[in-house]
Structure 1
Amino acid sequence: MADRPLEIVVITQDTPRLAAGLAEACPEVIIHAGESASEVLAHAASAQVLMGLAQSITPGLVAATPQLQWIQAFTTGVDPLLALGLPRHILVTSARGIHGPQMSEMAFMHMLALGRGLPRMVDNQHRTAWERWPQRLLLGKTAVLVGIGTISEELALRCQAFGMRVIGISDARNEARGFGAIRPRSELVRTAREADFLIVLAASTPETRHLIDGAVLDALPSHGFLINLARGPVVDEAALIERLQRRTFAGAGLDVFNVEPLPASSALWQLDNVLITPHLGGMSDCYDEQLLPLIVENVRAFVAGDHARMRNRIILGEAGAAA
């Protein structure tokens, strides 16, 4: 870098302590922090770096940053950034690799809640109704994980610890930790027939749009559940709603949607075989601490001009296509 200090704009949405931690670890850089793009817009003109959740980096903020060289996303998925049409000389890095614990626990929350009928229990509690039924175990059940990366590997290991059979679907990987078998996407429909839980974790790209379509949903057994923790467009939402209304399979746990926040008019809100969570999968009560080591490492590499050492660099136009 030149003698002039590096200036970084940090949007602190969901990461209120990260800017202070970064300033302490890298005192040689100048940090401008705010909770939204509008709060930091006045500092963009002199900044070379933007940081924040991918969805918080707005077109207006990018346009107001003429010296922009690097965007560090605080998310694994960077599809909102790819949609900005960024020049190819701008570096983009993600937070891939830190979300395994919280995403895995979210998957287990959905599996346990759906499989054991937790919403029914809560409703009974509100009605002071004492009702008992056999409790479905995860032991011996089959989890089919669509998309294989760090998150899927961590989830697969946890599924194994619960005595589950784990099958992965990927065109990019033929082996990974925790999986009993990995099959190509061409075998997704066949494999869905074996799923007690079909868990969607694939990146959102043009290639994965509606990867979970009507044919895949129709292949799910009557006792099977769909869990989407990836991105809304990976699942054909209209096809999903139609089949949930007809109860062709047991139900769905949904953390992501085509439109977020999920509109009040969505039929999903009214379905008693759906568990809705408001895109909480990547969040944790220690997210700043999980994220900070990665950010500090990348800032130090960037300041040193050693871009090859920066972790999770994204090649624009190719991100996630082979997940």
Structure 2
Amino acid sequence: MQITIVTAQAQQYVNALSPRFPQCQWFFAEDASLLSQAALTSEILLATPNEAAKIIKQMPNLQWLHSSFAGVDALLKRHLPQHYKLTNSRGVFGPLMSEYVFSFLLAHTQQHNIYQHQQQQALWQALPSISLQGLTFCCVGSGNISQHLATTANHFGMRTVALSHSGAAKAAFTQVANFEQHKQICATAKVVVAVLPNTPQTLGLLNEKFFASLDDEVVFFNVGRGDTVDQAALLAFLQAKPKATAILDVTSPEPLPKTHPLWSQDNCIITPHVAAPSRVSDIIELFASKLKDHLAGKELTDRVDFSKGY
């Protein structure tokens, strides 16, 4: 079995994986343009989506492609073949995403910024307590990452709900509804976390009507994809609702232009797509587990449905 790896850390992947799977022949490069012709005959490809998109037309033997990212939109273009099984790395991002979301959420409810300001004034003054317990935590999207976020929210005693295209029930959530029911679901949510992939169906899905359904003091996160949010509608919402807060780890485009008004919006926090980095050590273990199953003839987990885009 031939395996090709194309990432900036390709050498690190091969050093870790090849001793564990000596029966496989390994090829690697940091850039797809540097691959040998023999590497293009591999049956398995581990790569970033952008690098993989450059070469899958040249890989007729490809059986399985594993994306080192969760998002795979670069591989969903109409001109690209879909003759292989596609998996992504969604399974490793849930814990990292929980750390990101709840670091901001706890700082917000524990009022760290106010206490820090009071410290600068040598002011000893207790503020009214705010707790996460009993608050409604809503995920927009109900996949693997959202389910992990909901599990974390459950530990804090929050009520967890979700919106999805199907509205199908998921064990991590008290309730899952379809997007048409966003008014009923979002109206009671104090925290809303968008974890949507970038697909034709999600483009601009979180629009003016969506933001109109949110609580005036909501904490809104976008940790999915920037294109899923109508940023003009979000800006208008934040300007009209000064007690609301938006925390954006993704924008459209990336990076956000320096002149964009969201940068200077007081109730908006922007981070540079750092919520859940693809850590090589995590991807190595995930891929090794999947490769072991694949070589044993077992079904691959975290399969991407090409028709859905996730």
Query: Normalising by the residue count of structure 2, what TM-score does the alignment of the two structures yield?
Result: 0.85
What is the rounded CA distance, in whole Å, between the counterparts of 1:171 and 1:63 in structure 2?
A: 31
- Range with greater deviation from structure 2 (270-279 or 259-268): 259-268
Of the three residues 115, 123, 131, the one matched with 1:137 is: 131
Q: Which moved more, 1:245-254 or 1:270-279?
A: 245-254
Equivalences for residues 283-294 of structure 1 within 5 A: 283=277, 287-294=279-286
**Aligned-pair CA distance for 1:106:** 1.4
Q: Give the root-mean-square deviation of aligned CA atoms.
A: 2.8
8 Å contact kept, 2:56–2:81: no
8 Å Cα contact 1:169/1:182 also seen in 2? yes
Say which of 12, 18, 24 aligns to 2:19.
24
> Unaligned 5+ residue runs, structure 1?
none
Q: 1:156 aligns with which of 150, 161, 168?
A: 150
State the Cα deviation string for residues 269-323 of structure 1 (Å, max 9, x = none). Answer: 1112112121122227xx333322331243345556x4x6233232323323xxx
- Scaled by the length of structure 1, the TM-score of the pair is 0.82
Query: How far off its partner does 1:134 sit?
Result: 3.6
Q: Is the 8 A contact 1:51 1:71 kept in 2?
A: yes
CA distance in 1, matches of 2:252, 2:75: 17
Contact in 1 for aligned 2:142/2:162 (Cα 8 Å): yes
Match of residue 248 from structure 2: 254
Q: Give structure 2 stretches of 5+ with no counterpart.
A: none
- Matched with 1:318 is 308
Deviations 1:7-50 (A, max 9, x none): 4123145x87433211221223343444x42xx52215322243
* Matching residue within 281, 294, 299 for 1:309: 299
Displacement of 1:232: 0.8
Which deviates further from its counterpart, 17-26 or 198-207? 17-26
Q: Check whether the contact 2:242–2:267 (CA below 8 A) recurs between aligned residues.
A: no
How has the CA–CA distance of structure 1 residues 141 and 91 changed in structure 2, closer, same or farther, with 3 Å as cutoff?
same
Does residue 1:263 correspond to 2:231, yes or no? no
CA distance in 2, matches of 1:44, 1:104: 40
Q: 1:44 to 1:104 in 2, by over 3 A?
A: farther
- Using the alignment, how far apart are the partners of 1:115 and 1:129 within structure 2? 21
- The structure-2 alpha-carbon separation of the partners of 1:28 and 1:130, relative to structure 1 and needing over 3 Å to count, comes to farther
1:258–1:165 Cα change, 3 Å: same
Aligned partner of 1:97 among 91, 98, 105: 91
Aligned to 2:228: 234
Give the number of the structure with larger relative contact order, counting CA–CA contacts within 8 Å between residues 6 or more apart: 1
Quote the sequence identity (%). 28
Instruction: State the secondary structure of the residue aligned to 1:21.
Output: helix
In structure 2, the residue matched to 1:43 is: 35
Measured in 1, the distance between the counterparts of 2:27 and 2:78 equals: 22
Residue 223 of structure 1 aligns with an amino acid whose one-letter code is E
Aligned residues of 2:136 and 2:158 also touching (Cα < 8 A)? yes
* Contact persistence 2:11–2:28 (CA under 8 A): no
Q: Does 1:281 align with 2:278?
A: no
Matched length: 305
287, 299, 304: which one pairs with 1:295?
Answer: 287
**SS in structure 2 of the partner of residue 99 of structure 1:** helix
Aligned pair partner of 1:192 in 186, 211, 214: 186
SS at match of 1:51: strand
